[in-house]
Every structure is written in structure tokens, then in C-alpha cells.
Amino acid sequence: MKDLSEQIQSLCRRAKDSSRLLAELSPKTIDCGLIAIGEELFSKKHEILEANEKDVDNAKKANLSPALIDRLYLGEKRFGDLLKALEDIVYLPSPLGEVIEEWKRPNGLLIKKIRVPIGLIGIIYESRPNVTVDSSALCLKSGNAVILRGGTEAFNTNCALVDSIHAGLRKARIVEDAVLLVPTTDRQSIPLLCSQQGLIDLLIPRGGKNLIETVVNHAKIPVIKHSQGICHVYVHCDASFDKALSIVLNAKCQRPAVCNAMETLLIDEKIAPDFLPLVVNELQKRGVELRGDQNCLNIMGDRLILADEEDWSTEYLDLILSIKIVKNLQEAIDHIRKHGSNHSDAIVTEDSSAAEAFLHKIDSAAVYWNASTRFTDGFEFGFGAEIGISTDKIHARGPMGLKELTTYKYIVYGNGQIRT
């Protein structure tokens, strides 16, 4: 235990030291590094995919769930996507050095608020190995060093990926320690990472509830959570049924396993007798299991299961949907406030004052009027990349792109000013 603790601390110290060298590089040098990383990954494709096969085999032997094995699997196609994503990051503008604000004080001091890297970022994540390359590229591009603690089941893949990342950094003459992988699958490494005050500047946990809770419970350094999305669509009494139907189907079915998918549908009681049958038909055609409140069952009979209290606060991440009939806008807002996770919520209505009330009263990272919750995404927002979707309110909220991986400092120019 002492050994591991010392090992993690020394790893973080190396990464922190490298963050200072990294902060002095030009954006162009960093881009060259990213290109070199892409070349090295490409040339080591077979080794990486072999390492991944080993992980997949182990996962099968350990009887891990098919969903997890699918997330773990890399393969030719996903490897290509990973390289493409890396290339896209190269061509994004660097967020660094931007003068965010600049002003002169009456005493002549010139104050510039400048965008700078955060320093050392710790990413703690689960099975998907593309996160290893994605996170490294985004952290490097924003001038940050990164320490990665990937999923145990992806350990061989991650080691192979980070080997190539190091080769790329070497080629571009960038300090290799700027990207470090925790070289153990010991679960104790997570609490140890969480207590590296003064070395790690920010922790970003990406994964399931247990992972997030472990990090939050142990963290003595700032954390930006990428936690669950219990997203709602509220179909208001003045909704266009066409828009409502297409938004509901999209928000639930297009990709049910992601955090911006809808988990609960709220329907205004004035239109429920007409809209509910329509939407139930279409959802059931697509294989969605429906859990409704008593009012839904009164209309639709046993085509829906009766939802229990827990359903309203459950992130299914699956083709399951809870449906509730609400009296009015206020009841919809109250329900979302009580059960939502402040991620993404939508209202469908043609009534602009109802929409404005919803948009302003719902305290979620993204609120939508007549659009699908599925748009909460760095690419869909136009950021060109994302390291994830923050469910916190501090520093970054919603999709996190390159800007959100930076901080600022004040540079103050004087000519001898003193305070009186």
C-alpha cells in the first residue's frame, strides 16, 4: 500500500513537472505532437488491436456483460474512428493565449485576463479505450498534462495506446510524461489519485454511478463530474403533435444508452387522451418498454406497466421509458425539479410564454424548446470535440470542449504602481 501510494505520487509529480514544460510550447508544436501520435498509433495498429483482443478474451473468460465487452472492443472500424477523431482535434483552433478581457485601471495598471492551461488533469474512466486517446489529445491540445486511470478490463489496450502516444511525443520532442497511464489495475489507485493535492489540479471521472461516487467521496481536489442524465421531454397542451412525436421518438430511441437520451416523458393532461395513444403505438413499435402512472393506465389499460416511485429517478440507459400525465406546466416543472439530474430537458409547445417559463425555471445544463435532448453534445453544439458532459455547475456545465479544459490568469502591467 505504501509502495502504491509512493508510486502514484511520483507519477503525478512527473506529470505535474511536465505540465510546466508543456505550458511553454507553442500551439503549433503541440499540433505536431498530435500528428506524430496519430502516425505512431496508425503504425502500431496491429499491436494495439492484438492487445485489445487479449482484453476482450479476458473479459469473456471473466463473464463480463455483453454490453461491457462491446464497449471494450476496439476493432478496425472503431480504430479508424479513433484516428479520425484525433485528426479532427489537430485542426481545431488552440484555446490558449486568448485575451478573454483586457482593461486599464484609473491608476494606469493594465490588466489582461488570459486563457491558460489548468495544469495536470486526472481522467478516471471505464471500459471504452478510445477515451484514452481522446482525453490525451484534448488535454494536450489545451496545454494540460494528463494522468489516465482507465478501466481494469481495458488495461492491455490502454498500455498499447499510451506506448504509441509516448512514441509520438518523443518524435515531436515533447516531454513524454505529459501523458501518463497509472500502470496498475489496483483499485486503490483511484482514492490515491483523489488525494494528490498540489499535483493534480482537476479530476474528471467518466463512468457509472459507483465510479463517480468513489471519486466524490475521496476527492480532496476539484472534480467535474460526468454523471447521469435523467432527461425529460414535456409535451405541453399547445404542442404540435408532429414535432412532439418526432422529438419523443428521437430522444428515446435514437441511442438509448447515452446520458442525453430521454428517460421520462411528461404529457399535459389536456392532450393526453389524444397524444398518449399515438406515442404509445410508435414507441411500442420500436420495442420500448413503457411504465406509466395510474392516469396513463386509465387511458391505455395494460399496454403500460404501472411505474413505481423509483422509476421517476431512474436512468434506464435502455429502451425503457417512464410516462407521467401532469396537470400543467407547473406540475411538469415541479416533477423535473424533484426527479431530474439537471442535465437536459425539453418542452414541446407552440406557446412561447409557456416555453420561456420552462426554459428559465428548469435549472439544467441544457434546456430545449421544440428540439430533442439528444443535442447536448460537444459536436452538436459546434465545439468540434468534447471530453464529456459535465453535470456540475462549477467551471463547466454541459458539453466540455477545449475551452472548458482551460483556466485563466491575470497579467498586470504597471510602471511602479503601489497601493495606497
For 24, counting Cβ atoms within 10 Å of its Cβ (0-12 exposed, 13-18 middle, 19+ buried), the class is exposed
Shortest Å, Cβ 383 to its own copies: 11
For its own copies, which residue of 1, 91, 217, 301 counts as binding (CB under 8 A)?
217
Q: Considering only residues 368-397, where is the footprint of its own copies by CB under 8 A?
A: 368-372, 374-376, 380-382, 392-395, 397
For its own copies, which residue of 60, 220, 285, 327 counts as binding (CB under 8 A)?
220
For its own copies, which residue of 273, 277, 337, 353 counts as binding (CB under 8 A)?
337
Cell numbers for 236: 405541453
Shortest Å, Cβ 150 to its own copies: 23
Alpha-helix residue ranges (DSSP H) falling in 24-106? 27-43, 45-61, 66-72, 75-90
For its own copies, which residue of 197, 281, 298, 330 counts as binding (CB under 8 A)?
197
Distance CA 212, CA 150 (A): 13
Q: For residues 44-78, b (16+ Cβ closer than 10 Å) or e, as one string?
A: bbeebbebbeebbebbeeeebeeebbebbbbeeee
For its own copies, which residue of 103, 301, 302, 338 counts as binding (CB under 8 A)?
103
At 73, is the secondary structure helix, strand, or coil?
A: coil
Q: 136 CB contacts (<8 Å, ≥6 apart)?
A: 37, 146, 148, 162, 165, 179
For its own copies, which residue of 48, 118, 145, 323 counts as binding (CB under 8 A)?
118
Distance CA 408, CA 100 (A): 8
Nearest to 234 by CA among 376, 365, 366, 330: 330
Q: Considering only residues 236-255, where is the footprint of its own copies by CB under 8 A?
A: 240, 242-243, 246-247, 249-251, 254
Q: 202 CB contacts (<8 Å, ≥6 apart)?
A: 118, 119, 120, 121, 122, 221, 222, 223, 224
The 10-29 contact track toward its own copies, x by CB under 8 A, reads ----------x--xx-----
285 binds its own copies (CB under 8 A): no
Closest to its own copies by CB, 183 vs 191, is 191
Distance CA 178, CA 15 (A): 6
Closest to its own copies by CB, 18 vs 376, is 376
Name the residue with cell 459535465.
390
Closest to its own copies by CB, 13 vs 45, is 13
For 345, counting Cβ atoms within 10 Å of its Cβ (0-12 exposed, 13-18 middle, 19+ buried), the class is buried
At 208, is the secondary structure helix, strand, or coil?
A: coil
Shortest Å, Cβ 65 to its own copies: 26
Number of chain positions touching its own copies (CB under 8 A): 69
For its own copies, which residue of 47, 87, 88, 363 counts as binding (CB under 8 A)?
363
Closest to its own copies by CB, 37 vs 279, is 279
327 binds its own copies (CB under 8 A): no
Nearest to 331 by CA among 380, 273, 275, 269: 269
Closest to its own copies by CB, 91 vs 103, is 103
What are the two backbone dihedrals, phi and then psi, of residue 303, each rounded to the nearest 5 degrees?
Answer: -75, -15
109 binds its own copies (CB under 8 A): yes
Note whether 123 and 175 are within 8 A (CB).
Answer: no
* Selected range binding its own copies among 64-72, 102-110, 152-160, 175-183, rule: CB under 8 A: 102-110
Element (H, E) at 277: helix 272-285
Closest to its own copies by CB, 39 vs 238, is 238
Where on the chain is the footprint of its own copies (CB under 8 A)?
A: 20, 23-24, 103, 105, 109, 111, 116, 118-119, 197, 201-202, 216-217, 219-220, 222-224, 240, 242-243, 246-247, 249-251, 254, 337, 359-361, 363-372, 374-376, 380-382, 392-395, 397-398, 407-420
